Amino acid sequence: MQKKVTRRIRRRKKNKRIFVFFIPFLLMVLIVSSMAFLFGRLKKEMDHRQQDNLEIARLHFDKSNLDETDLDEDNVDDGEWCLTLVNKWNPMKTDGSEVETIELSNGQLVDKRIYPQLQKMLDDARAYGVYPVVASGYRTWSKQEALYNEKIEEYKAEGLSEEDAKEAAESWVAIPGTSEHQLGLSVDINADGINSAGGEVYDWLARNAYKYGFINRYPSDKTDITGVANEPWHYRYVGIKAAEEINNRGICLEEYLE
């Protein structure tokens, strides 16, 4: 009898210990679950608000239409300087050292005359919800030469002959003296890689860049005329009037200047 009583007492103590341990554990699970649920609701709410703000920004951007009057055309279309033709058949007449440049926030340089329109284009793109960055702007002769030689060496390392390597390299990197980057009028624009992907930026530029005086200089269907492979990131300032006509007619700069 005494043994039975002792066993019952032990069982009660054991059950009590289990109960004492289980209650705090259960409470902790409930608290963690509740916090996870609340954080989930909060994140969804923030995502919805962010999306709503983005849609409002895009709606505002689309309604503005960004026509030529918005961009104060009289102050930016000012002559033949922005229509200088430079390609593999028309080399520069100078070494480009006379270009008066201005520095962008990331250290890249451009001809200071295109800066207002370039900056406005980048700002408007960000307001729309895409985030472009200028990956390359003005290049000195020595910089262009270094890029050109580096590309040749890359192809030679793949087994191409000197002649074939030069031919392949020239589809991507211009011979020094034939690059628009040396004019300071061209920029390579890519996505920031955090808030936007390349395709988003290229698509926005393809639809809107002409409104700011920029054209996609090397479209995929004009390689036989430009002599350069398709570069959806390479934009050239030509002035708003010329850019609009080039865009509307679906031509390249060489065809426009003819």
Known catalytic residues are 231
Closest CA to 238 of 140, 101, 114, 155: 114
Please report, for residues 54, 59, 126, the alpha-carbon distance to residue 46 in angstroms, rounded to integers and kept in the order given: 12, 20, 20
* Backbone torsions φ then ψ of 68, nearest 5 degrees: -60, -35
**Environment class of 159 (CB within 10 Å of its CB; exposed 0-12, middle 13-18, buried 19+):** exposed
Helix, strand counts (H, E) of the chain? 8, 6
**253: its two tokens:** 């700069």
Is 144 in contact with 91 (CB distance < 8 Å)?
no
Residue among 146, 145, 135, 216 nearest 177 (CA): 145
Calpha distance 180→111 (Å, rounded): 11
